[in-house]
A and B are shown apart, each in its own frame.
Chain A
Amino acid sequence: MTAISGASASPAVRSAAGRFADFLYRRPNFYLLLLLVPPLLWFGAVYIASLLSLLWQSLYTFDDFTMTVSHTLTLANYTQLFDAANFDIIVRTVVMALAVSVFSAMLAFPVAYYMARYATGRTKAFFYIAVMLPMWTSYIVKAYAWTLLLAKEGVTSWFIHGLGLDAVLQFLLDIPGIGGNTLSTSNIGRFFVFTYIWLPFMILPIQAALERLPPSLLQASADLGANPLRTFRHVIFPLAIPGIAAGSIFTFSLTLGDYIVPQLVGPPGLFLGSMVYVQQGAIGNMPMAAAFTLVPVVLIAVYLSMVKKLGAFDAL
């Protein structure tokens, strides 16, 4: 080809946008700033400012007689958190959050393990979508589905009756502390609903952690004479722990802040989230509600510092 010869770059008249682009190219820091200003402004002005306002309002005084908030600063709301009744709420919520985390890890493990180590190609894609879809589908619809399932004459009792397990159910419901009159008014029922709703959040991190474990490691373990059970106990399980810890961050934190499920299923008695909701809504005690929100924040911070040692952040 002979056409290629001589120059043709014409520094023609550049558009305003072009000149602005030149300007940005020469000042990368200014360009960066320009990109960052809108999101920073949003998060600073909307989110961080709101959090600070919440923290500040937790120091206001609520007058129990006139039911009004005055701007006098006090720490009384925080000392009130340690009242026996409030402390009960905190313990009840934390126990539930821990139980849900443990149980969902047990349910999630086989699914995650099968996905990561045995499923290939289409089966794997199918499993992935099948776990992801329930995770993203409407929270309120999932909770509603369980009110249908647990209702009197509903699906669950039909199955239990059909399988002839009425006695077993009755035995479970008779256990004090977790039982109740029916499934939908017992702690067992609430526990199942929580486990169901947060289960996908546990499966995916475990699956990701197991996925990273190289097959050669298992072969090496088998090669060194370990039987499958020992390989599982000493190689697979320890390596899955970061995934379990990462998943438990979700299950723990989500249970801790929930107030819809306790409202729909289970015995009376407030949860942390419901307490915040009631204080703010029905009572109008915003300072106390604000002080209560600090409890999950502190608990989650403590929990995070614990699971961080298990390598949870590497598995997120």
Chain B
Amino acid sequence: MHSEKASVWLKAAAWGGLVFLHFPIFIIALYAFNTEESAFSFPPPGLTTKWFAVAFSRNDVLESIGLSLQIACMATLLALLLGTLAAAALYRRNFFGRDSITLMMILPIALPGIITGLALLSAFKALDIQPGIMTIVIGHATFCVVIVYNNVVARFRRTSHSLIEASMDLGADGWQTFRYIILPNLGTAMLAGGMLAFALSFDELIVTTFTAGHEKPLPIWLLNQLTRPRDVPVTNVVALMVMLVTMIPVLLAYLLTRGGEDVAGSGK
């Protein structure tokens, strides 16, 4: 690093940027405690925690949370399986078609969500598949694979290949090497990838609107609340919760992969 100091202006602009990024999040947290029932006036006239109790006694809220957790878990498991397999296959060997396979995995998050969503919907319609939990999971797993893949493949590349050779040299066959050497080394990367996939799935809205049918996972529940603003306080509380549920796994994923070049989340 060079020794010169950042100018006051640059420092102010940088910290100002951070404030800009976090101010709306702070506002969400603040309004969850707002005593006012149907308006957004600022500053809030008073603070209370009563809306949390109200929100958690609402059946539609609880159902949506349960549904979203269920979907995120299933999509994460699928993504972990597929992403880890793909990483194991692609990290070292270069063969014809390898780049096409990586491109194919990136496409679902590189293309706008409406394309993935509409494409899945058109296929489900063509096959007469009724949209429901399974169709949502299929959609989420498709764009979560690359998140797991990115994390795991980075760890594979960082793990010296001679570890695998050393294990086989010491008498471990492929299965034992996988179980005792590869898996423990990949563990945290898989966990980090899985958490990011979970966070991504939990609050995904765009693809979900196309594949959900009549199901109401949490983001869709929230969206419906916004276009028909009835019970604002409950919406505020749920918004804060969604935010926390996505922030915590992302933070954990960062801590798990810190120190390596494969810092999670650097490529959403």
B12 to chain A, nearest CB (A): 9
Question: Complex Cα distance A115/B43, Å?
Answer: 33
Given contacts A114-B13, A219-B2, contact A148 B27 (CB under 8 A): yes
Interface with A: B57-65, B119-127, B186-194, which one? Answer: B119-127
Given contacts A54-B118, A204-B266, contact A137 B126 (CB under 8 A): no
Question: Complex Cα distance A263/B226, Å?
Answer: 10
Asked if B1 is at the interface (CB within 8 A of a chain A CB), the reply is yes
B198 to chain A, nearest CB (A): 11
Given contacts A40-B101, A111-B18, A139-B203, contact A158 B42 (CB under 8 A): yes
Inter-subunit contact B250/A20 (CB<8 Å): no
Q: Which residues of A contact B203 (CB under 8 A)?
A: 137-141
Question: Complex Cα distance A128/B265, Å?
Answer: 10
Q: Which residues of A contact B24 (CB under 8 A)?
A: 142, 145-146, 148-149, 196
Which residues from 140 to 158 on chain A have a C-beta closer than 8 Å to any C-beta of chain B?
Answer: 140-149, 151-155, 157-158
Asked if B163 is at the interface (CB within 8 A of a chain A CB), the reply is no
B146 to chain A, nearest CB (A): 10
A207 to chain B, nearest CB (A): 10
Asked if A286 is at the interface (CB within 8 A of a chain B CB), the reply is yes
Inter-subunit contact B28/A107 (CB<8 Å): no
Asked if A165 is at the interface (CB within 8 A of a chain B CB), the reply is no
Interface with B: A77-85, A174-182, A235-243, A254-262, which one? Answer: A254-262
Inter-subunit contact A57/B138 (CB<8 Å): no
Question: Complex Cα distance A143/B24, Å?
Answer: 9
Which residues from 221 to 238 on chain A have a C-beta closer than 8 Å to any C-beta of chain B?
Answer: none
Inter-subunit contact A256/B112 (CB<8 Å): yes
The residue that B243 contacts in the complex, of A14, A138, A153, A293, with Cβ under 8 A, is: A138
Question: Complex Cα distance A149/B219, Å?
Answer: 20
B143 to chain A, nearest CB (A): 9
Asked if A277 is at the interface (CB within 8 A of a chain B CB), the reply is yes
Asked if A73 is at the interface (CB within 8 A of a chain B CB), the reply is no
A137 to chain B, nearest CB (A): 5
Q: Which residues of B contact A141 (CB under 8 A)?
A: 28, 203, 222, 239, 242-243
Question: Complex Cα distance A152/B41, Å?
Answer: 7
Question: Complex Cα distance A141/B265, Å?
Answer: 19
Question: Complex Cα distance A16/B41, Å?
Answer: 69
Question: Complex Cα distance A219/B2, Å?
Answer: 9
B interface: dominant SS:
helix
A93 to chain B, nearest CB (A): 11
Inter-subunit contact B200/A253 (CB<8 Å): no
The residue that A110 contacts in the complex, of B10, B89, B175, B206, with Cβ under 8 A, is: B10
Inter-subunit contact B41/A132 (CB<8 Å): no
Question: Complex Cα distance A49/B127, Å?
Answer: 11
Question: Complex Cα distance A187/B171, Å?
Answer: 67
Given contacts A256-B112, A264-B226, contact A47 B107 (CB under 8 A): yes
Number of chain B interface residues as a range: 35 or more
Q: Write out, one digit per residue, whether chain A residues 258-300 have a CB within 8 A of any chain B CB (1) or not (0).
A: 1110011000000001001100100000100110010011001
Q: Which residues of A contact B223 (CB under 8 A)?
A: 140, 260
Inter-subunit contact B118/A53 (CB<8 Å): no
Inter-subunit contact A147/B243 (CB<8 Å): no
Asked if A48 is at the interface (CB within 8 A of a chain B CB), the reply is yes
Asked if A244 is at the interface (CB within 8 A of a chain B CB), the reply is no
Q: Which residues of A contact B116 (CB under 8 A)?
A: 47, 50
Asked if B53 is at the interface (CB within 8 A of a chain A CB), the reply is no
Q: Which residues of A contact B86 (CB under 8 A)?
A: 35-36, 39
Inter-subunit contact A114/B11 (CB<8 Å): yes
Q: Which residues of B contact A145 (CB under 8 A)?
A: 24-25, 27-28, 239
Q: Write out, one digit per residue, whether chain A residues 18-55 have a CB within 8 A of any chain B CB (1) or not (0).
A: 10111011001001100110111011001111110110
Q: Which residues of A contact B267 (CB under 8 A)?
A: 316
A201 to chain B, nearest CB (A): 7
Question: Complex Cα distance A114/B10, Å?
Answer: 7
Asked if A130 is at the interface (CB within 8 A of a chain B CB), the reply is yes
Q: Write out, one digit per residue, whether chain B residues 225-240 have a CB within 8 A of any chain A CB (1) or not (0).
A: 0110000000100010
A269 to chain B, nearest CB (A): 17
Query: Closest residue to A154 on the B side, CB-wise?
Result: B40
Inter-subunit contact A111/B14 (CB<8 Å): yes
Inter-subunit contact B85/A36 (CB<8 Å): yes
Q: A117-B6, A140-B219, A280-B118 are in contact. List 7 more A-B contacts (CB 8 A).
A: A28-B93, A50-B122, A54-B118, A138-B203, A140-B205, A148-B27, A300-B111
Q: Could you list which residues of chain A lie within 8 angstroms of chain B, going by C-beta atoms?
A: 9, 14, 17-18, 20-22, 24-25, 28, 31-32, 35-36, 38-40, 42-43, 46-51, 53-54, 57, 107-108, 110-111, 113-115, 117-120, 125, 127-149, 151-155, 157-158, 196, 199-201, 203-204, 208, 215, 218-219, 253-254, 256-260, 263-264, 273, 276-277, 280, 286, 289-290, 293, 296-297, 300, 316
Closest 7 CB pairs of A and B: A257-B112, A114-B14, A138-B203, A21-B174, A110-B13, A145-B24, A111-B17
Name 22 interchain pairs, CB-CB below 8 A, sorted by A.
A20-B175, A22-B173, A24-B174, A35-B89, A36-B89, A50-B122, A108-B17, A113-B14, A125-B258, A131-B18, A134-B22, A151-B39, A154-B41, A218-B2, A253-B112, A260-B223, A263-B227, A273-B114, A276-B118, A277-B209, A286-B125, A300-B112
